[in-house]
Chain A
């Protein structure tokens, strides 16, 4: 029967405890979970024929739940849902082929968790706030004094576009200033960081941090302080997650 693979776990970390954990957990299809150990690496698997997989949202959530439970006690490399190999021996061969990459990633993520930080903002509210703060500059666009004279539709249109452009620039500068503050705040505690800015009209920053497990409270307090500092924005911190976004090796 095929093996559905959930994660790789460091086998050196308390195997009896792992056995106990697996005994009380169920696979996504309700069967028992099993451990396949090879050279310091344990693959957590369950028996499941590919055709029997119910590939829906609930299965994906259950799959992630198993990885999360394992990650509470062990260093875990999550495998993407759903990944199958044909048999136990194929799993063993795959681990042997990829042993170096798996061990490297264990070292990288050991005792660390992943946190997601999303920063939302209503762009219109932000623009209004920035307008109020800097009304003089925005109210009189650069160069407008050069176009003194009788009003015209064309001039009004140019002034309006210029104001809009300047406001967009202010929004970008504001987001960059937030990024700088976040980077400076997180730098001492993060072991890895990835981010995208201005993802959409409402999502101005989507960041992922790899943080030592014992630094969780520091990160939470830091985000609280940032939200107090930038009250126009909504901060959403999620985690701790297994280090999904910080494992990087291609399986051979």
Chain B
């Protein structure tokens, strides 16, 4: 792990942030105003990032073993 463990992955941090602001916190019922299409857009973004999270181990390995200059 890097010395700076906080925010060690930008993608994960954004995903975590969106997960919190869209799915957690206090709900003021009856005030969901974004259209279905827009919600889908936001959640699509989250899902895309979720799939990118799954490649994190590969990214980490490639960082640990940088390619040699040809």
Residues of A within 8 A of B (CB): 5, 8, 50, 53, 55-57, 60-61, 63-64, 67, 77-85, 94, 116, 118, 120-122, 200-203, 220, 223-224, 227, 234-242, 244-245, 247, 249-251
Q: Are A80 and B25 in contact (CB under 8 A)?
A: yes
Residues of B within 8 A of A (CB): 1, 5-9, 12-14, 16-18, 20-29, 31, 33-35, 38-39, 41-42, 45, 53-54, 56-57, 60
Shortest distance between the CB of A87 and any CB in chain B (Å)? 13
Q: Are B56 and A234 in contact (CB under 8 A)?
A: yes
Q: Which of A116, A238, A249, A250 has the most CB of B within 10 A?
A: A238
Q: Are B20 and A78 in contact (CB under 8 A)?
A: yes
Number of A-B contacts (CB under 8 A): 129
* Bound-state Cα–Cα, A201 to B50, Å: 12
- With A60-B21, A63-B21, A238-B6 known as contacts, the answer to whether A55 contacts B16 (CB < 8 A) is no
* Bound-state Cα–Cα, A149 to B34, Å: 68
* Bound-state Cα–Cα, A116 to B6, Å: 10
Q: Are B26 and A55 in contact (CB under 8 A)?
A: no
Partner of B16, one of A223, A238, A247: A238
Q: Are A116 and B21 in contact (CB under 8 A)?
A: no
Q: Are B24 and A82 in contact (CB under 8 A)?
A: no
- With A202-B54, A234-B60 known as contacts, the answer to whether A224 contacts B25 (CB < 8 A) is no
